[in-house]
Structure 1
Amino acid sequence: MNLASHVVNSARAHPDRAALRLGDDVVTYRMLDRRTARVAAMLRDRGVRPGDRVGLMLTDTPEFAFAYFGALRAGCVVVPLNFLLKSGEVAYHLGDSEARVLFAWHECAEEARTGAQQAGAEAIVVDAGGFGELPVPGRSADVVADRHEDDTAVVLYTSGTTGEPKGAELTHGNLTRNCDIVADDLLRLTPDDVVFGGLPLFHAFGQTCVLNAAVASGACVTLLPRFDAEKTLAMLAGHGVTVFAAVPTIFSRVLQQPDPGAYDVSRLRLSLTGGASMPVQVLRDFQETFRCVVLEGYGLSETSPVTSFNTLRAGPRPGSVGTPVRGVEMRVVDDGKEVPQGEVGEIVIRGHNVMKGYWRRPEETAVAIRDGWFHTGDLGRADQDGFFWIVGRSKDMIIRGGNNVYPREIESVLYGHPAVAEAAVVGLPDPDLGEEVGAAVVLRPGARATAEELRAYVKSRVAASMYPRRVWITDALPKGPTGKIVKREIVPPLGPGGR
């Protein structure tokens, strides 16, 4: 079993169909097959062997796919990196994974070369069309290295919010099954589909739900290297996108564009979101504007990533992350024991999607995976129909005077205000209560609202112990590479009330 076999199979079945598109440039499946074979041959010629780690520090261009599937084709383990990392971070990831080679996009060549040198790895700088200049390999390069389903395919590094980044080892079995479930059960992809490729491909969401799922189905991925809301709308219309995959922030930004409903997106049949909590109001606004169903799901890097999803068959429930996907189990526990239905506890997961472990960290693996169950650190609840609802990270939960406050619930209320574009609820130190509830808010373009008005709006809709006493309006919220709001970087302004 080798994840790269999807490339070969789709090339045989649909050689002249578009696999990747960047602007007006199109890569067919025949071309994708040949380029990945060239990359595999190049790695073998450099003495890189099956099981060796190969770093990727590339943007969302066809070159990412060439290097990703080429390394897998050679039997190597792919280590995808954020192309914005600095040299010290590059050195850490390459050194920790003991990567032998790093493919780096030309725009980040300096940081990549410096970091690779520090880690003792070879940096290969890539630009547009660079892999097309490789010599055509012999017939032996057409062979896809045989890998067992338990062999590691990808090492995905976590964000490191609670310490040094850890590499989640995802096997060929993890990724192939997760990819097939996304393509067949959730998206029902066919070769006629065009999938929006605006999610970072170095991230689990973009790899599994966009690149791998599309390639396995013979569909086309239309790539957008850097997110731009206006370009996104133009691509949805001009490229005939049928499946839109994005994090909630992107949905919100697209809706904030002038007259988004004026674009002809009649081919768009389905949207999916994950990676962060999707405000119910944003979901409903997107569905109404584009006449397209939005499915929200849940997963983590350690679970390949998809764990649960709303589905067309069961009917989506706005605000929930759906039911576990085929072959996966989810429970809500407290101190190891399953909690009664409807009560909040930690989400734990068991199934074919759970990682092999953290790269060379057996002790941390033993803490995360206990009796076969992966402990997520996320808090949620399950309803009577088996739908799961995420209320936040355990570390994000606010304890105000002994009362538990779940940020997602307050954020959902704020998103219901017509002036609010984005909102993030955080805990603030308080000498009397331990923590106080704070809310940072970004207003919609041209909208007006005061902090006092927003505070009163929430106060009238939630329990007295939950509404934010401190509300402040800001121009922007800090975000990570996928567009997810980074709460640890939110700092309230000085002054009474946070105004």
Structure 2
Amino acid sequence: MGTEQANDGFGTISVAAILAESAARRADAVALIVGDESVTYAALWDQAKAYAGALRDRGVGPGVPVAILVPNVADFARVYFAVLALGGIVVPVHALLKAREIEYVIRDSGAELLVCAAPLLPEGEPGARAAGTPVLTVLAAEATDGLPRLEDAAADAEPIRTYVPRRPEDTATILYTSGTTGKPKGALGTHFALVEQVNVLLTSTFDLRAGDKIFGGLPLFHTFGQTCVLNAGLRAGATVVMLPRFTGAAALDLVRRHNIDIFFGVPTMYMALLEAIRASPGRPEGLRYGISGGSSLPVAVIDRFRELFGVEIYEGYGLTETSPVASFNHVGTTPRPGTIGTAIWGVEVAIARPEVADAIELLPAGELGELVVRGHNLFKGYLNRPDATAEALVDGWFRTGDLGTKDGDGYLRIMDRKGDMIIRNGYNVYPREVEEVLSQHPDVATVAVFGVPHEVHGQEIAAAVIAVPGSTVTTGELAEFAQARLAAHKYPRLIELRTELPLGPSGKILKRTLQASFGDDAEASRTRGQ
């Protein structure tokens, strides 16, 4: 990784320019708010340059990967832009990983340094030590276990003057996929793809303005929070109001207290907001709209949000490998609930025959198949995984692994991941369709539908449900509700009431974890049916 050459000055670009340019143009505007701390654009860039000086003195330069294990606080942005300004490669680490998992990310990425927030050292330091990688801390009151503080190193170092230019195809980030099968893979994001993504989001996708206050509760180690909130927000000259630890009540309080203009979230966040506002009624004054991604948002949730918050949610779609946004219900046009909108500017999203692995055979409008994407937003492959890269990138298209349709107007609908489809008695059942129905029940706050093995039917349809607070709904009542609205082969025979659902790093519900733990410590309802 460290062998990438310094740019020769031709065709240069850098993600670090996002902060540098906004600092030059909006020096005194507030870039970040975290609790009682406010940081202006000029101060944030100066701090990033000071951090960069310290990192430079420790060998960070063009093409050098640096792992970052920092939660949603201002130091994430400082370190992120410091590494990028040196021409280095940012390797964000999921804040809930254990030492063994952190070791894997550091080793696989080739990270030569870990910058770790003090509260995360109990897992971060052993992981880095096992990988043989030095550690710098941030947010420590004093040196911890002899580990140097980046703040101290920055105070002693000469700040860099400006950022190092990079080639468009140079690697800017290595983001690790959730690894639902096998080990997580490092997706290589380029400077061009990340910068162009931000520009397209601002010019023709979102309505994000200078001076807007945007909700910063999405984890910044994930592509959604990193690109759509942090980078797009700073490129626009907005203020990102960060929430280090998400709860529905804390998010609602932040939205009200800071008059947040735009809420960015995944479906589980919107469901938590709805619970919070039921407990503490009253519409926030400043909210203009919400943006949702990460997984499908039930239409019933969109309707409830409109009723209680008085604004629309605009839903889109993307993946780590697409930087991330590929399609969106573009702000300025009336959203079509239940869809993920149309392809963003300069990007194509089509439907391909899923069973053909070595070529892309496009299907006509309305037919169900695999979503495939091509355009300026694509990553350049998986680190050290040529076979996985060749499997994912076919004929210039990225195979998403998601099943869906595209209508004559170009609007896309997601059914499910190819691996999540349930086959009961030979019939295909798409979990999202069942989730949409159960979400319409007034006592359902969150629901996940998945298949479990069955010796007679092949698979049986199961649902894990979180009920709204105070609800006395039974699993039998939920089963009857679904049975009355779904065909006999689609309604769930097995329903569990749970107090929480397992979530991945981006807030997605982990259905494979639910499948593995189905029936443990939960009230189960087993209804009869053919």
For residues 109 and 443 of structure 1, do their structure 2 counterparts lie closer, same or farther at Cα, with a shift above 3 Å needed? same
What are the Cα deviations for residues 288-307 of structure 1, in whole angstroms up to 9, with x where unaligned?
21111210000001111110
What are the Cα deviations for residues 218-239 of structure 1, in whole angstroms up to 9, with x where unaligned?
1110010000211211111111
What are the Cα deviations for residues 24-69 of structure 1, in whole angstroms up to 9, with x where unaligned?
2100001111011012111111122210000000000000000001
Asked if 2 retains the 8 angstrom alpha-carbon contact of 1:254 and 1:260, the reply is no
Asked if 2 retains the 8 angstrom alpha-carbon contact of 1:63 and 1:131, the reply is no
> How far does residue 138 in structure 1 lie from its aligned partner after superposition?
4.3
For residues 24 and 128 of structure 1, do their structure 2 counterparts lie closer, same or farther at Cα, with a shift above 3 Å needed? farther
Asked if 2 retains the 8 angstrom alpha-carbon contact of 1:38 and 1:136, the reply is no
Asked if 2 retains the 8 angstrom alpha-carbon contact of 1:38 and 1:131, the reply is no
> How far does residue 183 in structure 1 lie from its aligned partner after superposition?
2.5
Secondary structure in 2 aligned to 1:358? coil
For residues 18 and 263 of structure 1, do their structure 2 counterparts lie closer, same or farther at Cα, with a shift above 3 Å needed? farther
Partner of 1:282: 301
Aligned pairs, number: 498
What are the Cα deviations for residues 402-424 of structure 1, in whole angstroms up to 9, with x where unaligned?
11100001000000001111111
Partner of 2:138: 126
TM-score between the two structures when normalised by the length of structure 2: 0.91
2:17 is the counterpart of 1:5: yes
> How far does residue 287 in structure 1 lie from its aligned partner after superposition?
1.6
Secondary structure in 1 aligned to 2:332? coil
C-alpha separation between the residues in 1 aligned to 2:68 and 2:101?
Answer: 14
**Equivalent of residue 135 in structure 1, options 155, 158, 165:** 155
Counting only pairs closer than 5 Å after superposition, residues 35-50 of structure 1 correspond to structure 2 as: 35-50=47-62
The letter of the residue matching 1:340 is P
Partner of 2:240: 221
Counting only pairs closer than 5 Å after superposition, residues 16-27 of structure 1 correspond to structure 2 as: 16-27=28-39
What are the Cα deviations for residues 260-301 of structure 1, in whole angstroms up to 9, with x where unaligned?
674452211121000011011111111221111210000001
**Equivalent of residue 404 in structure 1, options 386, 408, 428:** 428
> How far does residue 190 in structure 1 lie from its aligned partner after superposition?
1.9
Secondary structure in 2 aligned to 1:210? helix
> How far does residue 120 in structure 1 lie from its aligned partner after superposition?
2.0
C-alpha separation between the residues in 2 aligned to 1:9 and 1:460?
Answer: 57
Asked if 1 retains the 8 angstrom alpha-carbon contact of 2:494 and 2:525, the reply is yes
For residues 191 and 313 of structure 1, do their structure 2 counterparts lie closer, same or farther at Cα, with a shift above 3 Å needed? closer
C-alpha separation between the residues in 2 aligned to 1:25 and 1:238?
Answer: 14
C-alpha separation between the residues in 2 aligned to 1:226 and 1:404?
Answer: 39
Secondary structure in 2 aligned to 1:427? strand
Secondary structure in 2 aligned to 1:471? strand
TM-score between the two structures when normalised by the length of structure 1: 0.96
C-alpha separation between the residues in 1 aligned to 2:349 and 2:54?
Answer: 42
Counting only pairs closer than 5 Å after superposition, residues 382-401 of structure 1 correspond to structure 2 as: 382-401=406-425
Asked if 2 retains the 8 angstrom alpha-carbon contact of 1:341 and 1:382, the reply is yes
> How far does residue 137 in structure 1 lie from its aligned partner after superposition?
5.2
C-alpha separation between the residues in 1 aligned to 2:338 and 2:108?
Answer: 38
C-alpha separation between the residues in 1 aligned to 2:498 and 2:513?
Answer: 13
Range that drifts further, 291-300 or 311-320: 311-320
2:511 is the counterpart of 1:473: no
> How far does residue 362 in structure 1 lie from its aligned partner after superposition?
1.1
C-alpha separation between the residues in 1 aligned to 2:79 and 2:277?
Answer: 38
Counting only pairs closer than 5 Å after superposition, residues 83-482 of structure 1 correspond to structure 2 as: 83-127=95-139, 133=152, 134-135=154-155, 138=158, 141-259=160-278, 262-263=281-282, 265-334=284-353, 335=356, 336-482=360-506
2:89 is the counterpart of 1:65: no
Range that drifts further, 398-407 or 128-137: 128-137
C-alpha separation between the residues in 1 aligned to 2:452 and 2:324?
Answer: 31
The letter of the residue matching 1:231 is A
C-alpha separation between the residues in 2 aligned to 1:116 and 1:20?
Answer: 29
Partner of 1:78: 90
Partner of 2:6: none
Asked if 2 retains the 8 angstrom alpha-carbon contact of 1:55 and 1:81, the reply is yes
Secondary structure in 2 aligned to 1:256? helix
Range that drifts further, 411-420 or 475-484: 475-484
The letter of the residue matching 1:186 is T
> Pairwise CA RMSD of aligned residues?
1.7
C-alpha separation between the residues in 2 aligned to 1:313 and 1:93?
Answer: 40
> How far does residue 497 in structure 1 lie from its aligned partner after superposition?
4.4
Partner of 1:493: 519
C-alpha separation between the residues in 1 aligned to 2:368 and 2:294?
Answer: 20
C-alpha separation between the residues in 2 aligned to 1:356 and 1:498?
Answer: 47
For residues 41 and 280 of structure 1, do their structure 2 counterparts lie closer, same or farther at Cα, with a shift above 3 Å needed? same
C-alpha separation between the residues in 1 aligned to 2:500 and 2:364?
Answer: 39
C-alpha separation between the residues in 2 aligned to 1:383 and 1:460?
Answer: 28
What are the Cα deviations for residues 362-394 of structure 1, in whole angstroms up to 9, with x where unaligned?
111001101101001111111221100001100
Secondary structure in 1 aligned to 2:276? coil
Secondary structure in 2 aligned to 1:385? coil
Over the matched positions of the two proteins, sequence identity in percent amounts to: 43
Asked if 1 retains the 8 angstrom alpha-carbon contact of 2:34 and 2:74, the reply is yes
Asked if 1 retains the 8 angstrom alpha-carbon contact of 2:51 and 2:151, the reply is no
Secondary structure in 2 aligned to 1:312? coil
The letter of the residue matching 1:331 is A
Asked if 1 retains the 8 angstrom alpha-carbon contact of 2:193 and 2:376, the reply is yes
> How far does residue 185 in structure 1 lie from its aligned partner after superposition?
2.1
Asked if 2 retains the 8 angstrom alpha-carbon contact of 1:379 and 1:393, the reply is yes
Secondary structure in 1 aligned to 2:20? helix
Range that drifts further, 472-481 or 217-226: 472-481
The letter of the residue matching 1:254 is L
